[in-house]
Structure 1
Amino acid sequence: MKTCDICGIKSHESGDDPFMFGQWKSLSNVTVHYFCLLLSTKLPQRGDDSVGILGFLLTDIRKEIAQARHRKCEYCSKMGANVSCHKCGDLFHMPCAVTNRCTIEFCGNFISYCDTCRPLDDYKTQILKNPPKKQSCVICFETIHSCYLHCVSYGDCCRLGFAHMMCMRKYAMSSGYYLRCPWCRNSKFRDLIRLQSIFVPDRDAAWELEPNAYRDLHRSVFRCDQEECICPKGRQFTNKTWSILMCKFCTVSGVHSKCLVGTQGVDKISDIPKDFKCTICVQIIKSRAENLETSLYIRKNGPKSSEGAAIDSQEPVFSDDNCVDPGTSNQEFISLTSTSLPSNTSSLPPPPQSDKDKERLWIQKSFNVRGEPFLYLVVYKTDGPKCLGTCTYRFHEDDPRISDKSFEALELIEVSEEDIWFYHDDCHYWEENKHLDSCQQ
């Protein structure tokens, strides 16, 4: 049984979960949770990873242990609080912060917020007011009956779905450097998810650290696959005399050098083949060469012109697949396939002369993502009174079209296909949109 010297939680009291509290770290007579070291507000990290416990000096850890014994936790009312809220200054244990809806930022200065001071943007506020129902976890595929903010995580880069908080912790812990957004595969997800109380280790993925994980890929089975093996000791026998050559392309099939020649009378080194190509690889290479010849190089099927004949005297040549009647002249064929530009363009609609003539965008919301120089604009896509979903446009902050970020100006902005970030069939807030009444009318 282990006991954390900082928070006082014992391993048998739900304090042995590495995904929630971090791994146990011990040095000399000090035993602590790794997350207790990272999240202790008054504990500095003054060394590199080879000093103390991953850069935390033993003198600083013992000092924090002594000071934490005089701090009372706001949640469990026990002594040993080592984390303080970044806004109000309330004190609490690290395990109490994890289990009481606090927000932890596993980056930068590793600051924490209590459940009443946690930062909320528009998207989080919407989830708090009206949690989405019956969503599917992108990792375990189980149903999330109610997406409460403290129980789920999401991709702040795309906001296309939800995942259980514990599933995301396990996914991040095992992925390390290879962590990507499970919805849009954005690499920025690795930094954004750390703001949602998810710890992402700075190391290789777990599957890369497993000993001998790729051993079978480097193992070769030396065996003679010749149809008639003439080696007296069997197909798997090999020595200097009965050496086995592996296929130079697939390195899977092999053959005794003497079996390849077909006789045991090969004694000179110069007579032994230097390489070997198995039958399967030879057939694949041959078929690829044939396909290359017929698909990339097109043969002209017309009659050969005699030397000195005028080019314009030749009759037009049509392929067998051409739908034009061979009796049609070359001039008629050109007139059938060519199109002329209209001489009168008065039928085209004139450009809008004022803002009233421009098509307005039916905006749901606009938002910014921390650390990104972009403005995101979520617009409803409709078919009459029916909502088809939303389209999210992305504009760079230097774009002159968004110099005026007022709602009235954004409604009149001109968008193109290059501005589209992604589509979504979300019509959740359509009934609350102020344009609905005018649309139905």
Structure 2
Amino acid sequence: MVRARSTMRKKLITKNSQTSSDVLFQEPVCGLCGRTDNNIEKYGERLTDKKTNLSVHYYCLILSSGLWQHGKDNEGFYGFLLRDVRKEIARASKQTCSICMQKGASIGCSVKNCRKNFHFPCGLEKECMFQFFQKYGSYCWEHTPTQKVAPENKKAVCAICLDTLQPKPSYSVLKSPCCRYTWFHRICLQKHALSFGLYFFKCPICNNKETFQKEMLHMGIHIPERDASWESEENAFSELLYIHQQCDVEDCLCNKGRKYFESNSKWYILRCCYCGSRGTHLICSDLGNSQRYWTCSECISILSRDSEKASSLKGKQLARAMSNRNKKNKRSLKRTFQTRLEGSAHTSSSVSSGNSRRSDMSRRSNRAGSKPAKRRKKQERKGKQERRGKRNGKRKRGRSSHCSCRLSPSKSSKRCLKPFSRRGRAGRR
């Protein structure tokens, strides 16, 4: 009996130890969807409060219909206060999911007449649409927005993973709004967006940013507002601090090795002035101590190719310029020849018209000569009289007895004592 009791105690101790270890290492459950999955690509990061052990998925948190940010970014879960999260969990416990028929559905369809509620993981499995901008709308499987694109009969390939797909607009396949024959898997695009972030996310084919981001946000791709993943890693730019310090010449003359370096001597390592990824000892390349610029063999070959291309382009440009000049010269010769022909024709016509004018003038002069001489004399007399009358009128105006105040002595009772001008001379009356 004693042995049986001792064995029973040992079994109970082992069971209690197993249960306690399971509790310690058990993953926390999301308070909104009730799942323990920790998939960042599907559900976002898992947020847990150390004091209350409250845990929620990030996507379940921001897409809940009755939850709003009432705090700052450093309070609660990114501005969602803990008391508001608990209220939302209590509200969702009364709502049944229209997919799995269980309690805890915190997301409702954004269409007014639709009354469907569902968990976030259930909505993903049923191909519901979730938008991660502005109002964070959610749409059930009956009201999901689709791309208005005509299907293609040709075979298409995902531009990210290069796997074949059906080029038809659907939930799992999306078309690029900026490239004509470019298709993507939804999963591949979501991974691409999480890696690149808002500031680097763009079309992988044409690098369009505005239209591509707008369309992908509308179609339910989450683009986090952060830097790219390769920039947020530790020591991401440590390679830029590395300095190449090695002799890369085929026949290195240094007995102490290619990495031996000594300043102000023949063992000074000089790096390529173009790429900086190749080096040489001064003596290994027959360089003087005063020389500070050196070009490696790879850069020399690249520069020679570029110079050859530039010379060939210059030759082509010169040939084009010469041909254009020849064409212009031919055109100018044609124009001068045409202008000369037109000028000769114009001169001949002007000569004929000049002769006709001269004949008309001679006829008019003959007619004028036939007039009597009396009429001419009368006209000359009239002209002389008119000229004399004009001169006399000017003299009479100058001899007027009016003073500068325009008052005549005959009409005025008092005599005006103001001086008046008489052809520029001043006097008194």
Contact kept, 8 Å, 1:49 with 1:55, in 2: the verdict is yes
Identical aligned residues as a percent: 33
- Distance across 2 between alignment mates of 1:186 and 1:161: 13
**How far does residue 21 in structure 1 lie from its aligned partner after superposition?**
1.5
Q: Structure 2 counterpart of 1:149, which letter?
A: S
- Distance across 1 between alignment mates of 2:185 and 2:202: 16
Please tell me whether residue 109 in structure 1 is matched to residue 122 in structure 2: no
Contact kept, 8 Å, 2:146 with 2:170, in 1: the verdict is no
Q: Residue in 1 aligned with 2:174?
A: 153
Q: Residue in 2 aligned with 1:207?
A: 230
- Distance across 1 between alignment mates of 2:49 and 2:72: 15
Q: Structure 2 counterpart of 1:190, which letter?
A: Q
Which of 70, 84, 93 is equivalent to 1:60? 84
Contact kept, 8 Å, 2:72 with 2:79, in 1: the verdict is yes
- Distance across 1 between alignment mates of 2:177 and 2:48: 36
Q: Residue in 1 aligned with 2:189?
A: 168
**How far does residue 141 in structure 1 lie from its aligned partner after superposition?**
2.6
Q: Residue in 1 aligned with 2:123?
A: 97
**How far does residue 180 in structure 1 lie from its aligned partner after superposition?**
1.6
Q: Structure 2 counterpart of 1:272, which letter?
A: N
- Distance across 2 between alignment mates of 1:299 and 1:141: 42
Which of 330, 333, 341 is equivalent to 1:334? 330
Which of 269, 278, 281 is equivalent to 1:256? 281
Relative distance call for 1:51 and 1:272 in structure 2 (3 A) is farther
Q: Structure 1 counterpart of 2:257, which letter?
A: G
**How far does residue 18 in structure 1 lie from its aligned partner after superposition?**
2.0
Contact kept, 8 Å, 1:135 with 1:147, in 2: the verdict is no
Larger Rg: 2
Please tell me whether residue 220 in structure 1 is matched to residue 246 in structure 2: no
Q: Residue in 1 aligned with 2:75?
A: 51
Contact kept, 8 Å, 1:133 with 1:144, in 2: the verdict is no
Q: Name whichever structure is richer in helix by fraction.
A: 2
**Runs of 5+ consecutive residues of structure 1 not aligned to the other structure:** 263-270, 301-317, 323-329, 341-441
Q: Residue in 1 aligned with 2:365?
A: none
Q: Residue in 2 aligned with 1:3?
A: 29
Report 1 or 2 for greater relative contact order, CA contacts < 8 Å, sequence distance ≥ 6. Answer: 1
What is the number of equivalent residue pairs in this alignment?
Answer: 300
Please tell me whether residue 179 in structure 1 is matched to residue 201 in structure 2: yes
Relative distance call for 1:286 and 1:120 in structure 2 (3 A) is closer
- Distance across 1 between alignment mates of 2:284 and 2:167: 69
Once the two structures are superposed, the pairs formed by residues 1-400 of structure 1 within 5 Å of their partners are 1-11=27-37, 16-28=38-50, 29-87=53-111, 88-119=114-145, 123=148, 135-145=156-166, 147=168, 149-157=170-178, 160-176=181-197, 177-182=199-204, 184-188=206-210, 189-213=212-236, 215-216=238-239, 218-225=241-248, 229-240=252-263, 242-257=267-282, 272-273=289-290, 275-280=292-297, 281=299, 296=314, 334=330
**How far does residue 95 in structure 1 lie from its aligned partner after superposition?**
1.3
Contact kept, 8 Å, 2:172 with 2:185, in 1: the verdict is yes
**TM-score scaled by length of structure 1:** 0.57
**How far does residue 221 in structure 1 lie from its aligned partner after superposition?**
3.4
Q: Structure 2 counterpart of 1:142, which letter?
A: D
- Distance across 1 between alignment mates of 2:157 and 2:302: 44
Q: Structure 2 counterpart of 1:275, which letter?
A: R
**How far does residue 174 in structure 1 lie from its aligned partner after superposition?**
1.7
Contact kept, 8 Å, 1:133 with 1:147, in 2: the verdict is no
Contact kept, 8 Å, 2:31 with 2:56, in 1: the verdict is yes
Deviates more, 1:44-53 or 1:212-221: 212-221
**How far does residue 218 in structure 1 lie from its aligned partner after superposition?**
4.8
- Distance across 1 between alignment mates of 2:316 and 2:58: 67
Q: Structure 2 counterpart of 1:278, which letter?
A: T
**How far does residue 110 in structure 1 lie from its aligned partner after superposition?**
0.5
**Runs of 5+ consecutive residues of structure 2 not aligned to the other structure:** 1-26, 337-429
**How far does residue 293 in structure 1 lie from its aligned partner after superposition?**
6.8
Contact kept, 8 Å, 2:68 with 2:80, in 1: the verdict is yes
